[in-house]
Chains A and B, each alone.
Chain A
Amino acid sequence: MDRVKGIELTGAEIVVRCLQEEGVEYVFGYPGGAVLFIYDELFKQDKVKHVLVRHEQGAAHAADGYSRASQKVGVCLVTSGPGVTNAVTGIATAYMDSIPMVIISGQVPTYAIGLDAFQEVDAVGVTRPCVKHNILVKDVKDLAVALKRAFYLARTGRPGPVLVDIPKDVTMHSCEFHYPETVAMRSYNPVKKGHAGQIKKAVQLLLEAKRPMIYTGGGVILSDAAPQLGELVRQLGFPCTSTLMGLGGFPASDRQFLGMLGMHGTYEANMAMQNCDVLLAIGARFDDRVIGNPAHFAQNPRKIIHIDIDPSSISKRVKVDVPIVGHVPDVLEEILKIIKSAAQRPDPASLGAWWGQIEQWKARNCLRYDRNSKIIKPQFVIEKLFEVTGGDAIVTSDVGQHQMWAAQFYKFDKPRRWINSGGLGTMGFGLPAAMGALLANPGATVACVTGESSIQMCLQELSTCKQYRLPIKIVNLNNKYMGMVRQWQQFFHGNRYSESYMDALPDFVKLAEGYGHRGVLIDKPADVEPALRDAFRRKDELVFMDFITDQTENVYPMVPGGKGISEMILAEDL
């Protein structure tokens, strides 16, 4: 093989060169002893930009938000010991939602590993259960290959975070540098194309369906399959629903969209799931927050087709009739090809009757709330947010009631506009994720919908926003409660609001001002829209909007834990 002789580089130089080779635009990180040589190399170049966060959890969430908003691999860089343990929440968040991320962590020098050195932690051990893969690099000669693999593993197959742990002495040693062009691993060969026979079977079921339903998840967003999904749903004329992670995969404003399903899904989506005769699941995993009790779900007979890149997601909680392992867009294209060439079409009479039934469910108007309230209703704020931003904002959220209201009331028509922690449910995710999303889309409108409890979990990142001039609009739905905890306590714990009330909240306006931003307090419904309009007009300012909302409001519909998907509590029931 004709190989150009590589140049001799130090480990630290190799790290930075690899990032450049991968086209990495931003690294979110925080320096420390074990990564000083890497930071020194970052200092000497300007291709890879570094964003200095205020806490490593923020670095991981920001890299994650960057990835979700851009489909690129997010990168974060942390030091050994507390640097990496602080990042663990962010890594687990990315893992649960299958977000491609590379985490580079410093480690104590190889000769000190295992001796309880200062700032030593077994990073590979600590992160093992929450990464797709991790690698401890003990020799500088293995560094370039490890990083190449990390990026490859993160983005291919079912994506996920990959951690590369680099001891300090490895960053000092040098060797000849070659960045491998390809990766070959005999142990890792993700399937791309779906099985042709299974695809044919699936199409046959779809065309014969009388009460069909299409259920889509985060896999559609991650694999950029929105165009193929849109075409398929329209071709077939079937109803479509999305999980929390799948919102935006199919336009929410389309009449074929039934809204989100699941624990806080719409009445019509959940009823259609329970009562359909053929279910097409695409890049979704039937998790507990989506179909509730699997035994209850199985009471109604139906044929299930399940497309997913990860075989272990198939038949995990719900038995599937036609499993198709493959890359979602490729499989959908195959399905579309066969449908287009088939003479048969779904029976219009049955489909019409099914839509008639769905319309009846829709008529329950399950998302209604009191529009004449004198206290600000949180749902109203989200509706106005949707209007004011023309439905075109990137919206991040934290976790709890505000997250569900954002998912229910902001109609996401495009993928990668809705960024939230669905799997792990990480409070504190919203603000740093918004930073990453905005850096991935300069000039975009980015709103962080949060609550007074969640926002305090990564509040320090307001300082990062100031440093990098990130004009995020923070929509704080402040009801002085951990709202979702309070709701469960109201429903299931006899109104005993144990530790869910925040007694000494900061003055968020002054707090925002203290960080050099603009803060606004809104406590009247009439002021909601003007405040939002004013905030979004301020293109260069971060505005923290503290909306004082109804403390008693609950998220409806609600499927109580352990119940079936169609056993919903509706607002009208109470």
Chain B
Amino acid sequence: MSQRHIISILVENEAGALSRIAGLFSARAYNIESLTVAPTEDPSMSRMTIVTSGSEDVIEQITKQLNKLVEIVKVVDLSEAEHIERELMLIKVRAGAKEREDMKRMADIFRGRVIDVSDNTYTIELTGNGTKLDAFIQALDQGAILETVRTGASGIGRGNRILRV
């Protein structure tokens, strides 16, 4: 049965590492739902979060194949245990005189923040797990959405669960 997994990777911050990982997923026909990457506190290393889906066998192969890549330092399937997942969304919505109030209230309900304003738009920043962001989009009048930017999920283990070298 196909299940959603969130995989965390520590990788050498080297040119080409990202394309090697993306290439592995396409070459072996693995799914990528989202992929985020940025350097860690140690600039020589990047942390990557990949959301993928597959059967248990496929996920096992994904982690093994990732581990085989020479630049990858560590791989952890965060979904194996308690973890926290967050995604950031920037969404620009129509907010003319008559929608302004409603739109602000809706952002408040989802604990979003209006971070930019023009005569007829709001730009709202919203953080949460993917389902919360989905719910916000669903809650809006679809015609009011002008632009959506999502980062994809980042994840971290709960409590003392630490991924580092």
Contacts and interface: CB of A to CB of B under 8 A. Distances in A.
B57 A315 contact: yes
Interface stretch (A24-32, A126-134, A355-363, A483-491): A126-134
A311 B62 CA distance: 11
Interface string B1-38: 00000000001100110011001000100000000000
Taking residues whose C-beta sits less than 8 angstroms from the other chain, chain B's interface range is 20 to 34
B129 interface: no
Contacts of B11: 187
Nearest to B16: A124
B107 interface: no
A187 B12 CA distance: 8
Contacts of A312: 61, 64-65, 67-68
Given A312-B61, A312-B64, A125 B70 contact: no
A153 B64 CA distance: 18
B20, B60, B67, B68 — which one has the most chain A CB atoms within 10 A of its CB? B68
Contacts of B85: none
B35 to A, nearest CB: 17
Contacts of B12: 187
A136 interface: yes
Given A186-B165, A187-B72, A311 B67 contact: yes
B70 A188 contact: yes
A187 B20 contact: no
Interface string A302-319: 000000001110011000
Contacts of B57: 315
B145 interface: no
Interface in A358-399: none
B70 A132 contact: yes
A185 interface: yes
B64 A311 contact: yes
A155 to B, nearest CB: 14
B70 A133 contact: yes
A128 B20 contact: yes
Given A311-B64, A312-B61, A315-B60, A128 B19 contact: yes
Contacts of A315: 57, 60
B70 A136 contact: no
Taking residues whose C-beta sits less than 8 angstroms from the other chain, chain A's interface range is 10 to 19
B71 interface: yes
Contacts of A129: 23, 27
B73 interface: yes
Contacts of B70: 132-133, 153, 185, 187-188
A185 B44 CA distance: 13
A311 B64 CA distance: 7
A84 B64 CA distance: 29
Contacts of A311: 64, 67-68
A132 B68 CA distance: 9
A543 B150 CA distance: 67
Contacts of A185: 70
A132 B23 CA distance: 13
A136 B68 contact: no
A124, A136, A185, A186 — which one has the most chain B CB atoms within 10 A of its CB? A186
Contacts of B61: 312, 316
Interface in A112-134: 124-125, 128-129, 132-133
Nearest to A187: B73
B17 to A, nearest CB: 10
Contacts of B23: 128-129
Nearest to B12: A187
Nearest to A134: B16
A120 B11 CA distance: 29
A323 to B, nearest CB: 11
Contact of A310 (B15, B19, B68, B73): B68
A186 B42 CA distance: 14
A124 B70 CA distance: 14
B161 to A, nearest CB: 21
B60 A125 contact: no
A387 to B, nearest CB: 44
Interface in A307-353: 310-312, 315-316
A124 B11 CA distance: 18
Contacts of A187: 11-12, 70-73
A136 B73 contact: no
Nearest to A153: B70
Nearest to A128: B23
| Those 3 A-B pairs whose CB atoms lie nearest each other, nearest first | A312-B64, A133-B70, A187-B73
Given A124-B16, A187-B73, A312-B64, 8 more contacts: A128-B19, A128-B23, A129-B23, A153-B70, A187-B12, A187-B71, A310-B68, A311-B64
11 contacts: A128-B16, A128-B19, A128-B20, A132-B70, A158-B68, A187-B70, A310-B68, A312-B61, A312-B67, A312-B68, A316-B61
